[in-house]
Amino acid sequence: MSRHKQRSQMKAIGEINVVPLLDTTLFLLIIFMITFPLLEFSVDVSPPEFNADPIPSDENNKVISLDKNGKISFNKRLITLAELKEELVMIFARDKKTPILIRADGNRKYNEVMEIMKVVKLAGFKNVSLITLAEE
């Protein structure tokens, strides 16, 4: 009888219970799935200055500016997004290759610049450039 008891004790030692290991693994997986998206959007980003080729001075260029107060100007006159879209559609009908330049104050929200780019795209333009400050 002691021989049978010793064999069952050895069998119990040879088997590893993986349920706690799986529970811990799934718990960590859930924690990472919840916290990773939060970490991505909590980073404070300041866009860098960029050295690009100089923009050729062309009287055909159309410049859209977004100032620090959020006001949009098109060729040096204040305009709304709806008016901007109408004007861009008319310009696109005349000349599809007109270069569009977008200038925005560095303190404006990314979403506001994207709204302007969306209006330009909906008007049909493909030749769009963002104007940045030159690196020091």
Strand (E) positions, the chain?
A: 62-66, 72-74, 77-79, 100-104, 128-130
pLDDT for 116 beyond 80: yes
Same domain, 36 and 68: no
Question: Do 92 and 36 belong to one domain?
Answer: no
Residue 75 lies in a domain: yes
Q: Are residues 75 and 118 in the same domain?
A: yes
Residue type, 125: F
Judge if 68 and 34 occupy the same domain: no
pLDDT of 133 reads 66
Residue 69: is its pLDDT beyond 90?
no
Within a domain: residue 56? no
**From 14-18, 31-35, 118-122, the region with the lowest mean pLDDT:** 14-18
State the Cα–Cα distance between residues 113 and 92, nearest whole angstrom: 20
Domain harbouring 89, CATH code: 3.30.420.270
Residues 37 and 81 in one domain: no
pLDDT at residue 12 greater than cutoff 70: no
What is the residue range of 82's domain? 62-130
Residues 6+ apart with CB under 8 A from 58: 99
Residue 35 located in a structural domain: yes
- Let me know if residue 136 belongs to a domain: no
Assess if residue 52 is contained within a domain. Answer: no
Residue 67: what pLDDT? Answer: 83
Report how many domains make up the chain: 2
Considering the domain boundaries, does residue 53 fall inside one? no
- From residue 62, how far is each of 38, 84, 117 by CA, in Å? 39, 11, 13
As to burial, measured by CB atoms within 10 angstroms (0-12 exposed, 13-18 middle, 19+ buried), residue 6 is: exposed
Percent share of the chain, pLDDT over 70: 69
The whole-number pLDDT of residue 15 equals: 74
Residues 29 and 87 in one domain: no
pLDDT for res 96: 85
Most confident option among 14-23, 59-68, 85-94: 85-94
Query: Could you report the per-residue pLDDT of 25-52, keeping only the tens digit for each?
Result: 999 999 888 877 666 544 444 444 556 5
* pLDDT at residue number 134: 62
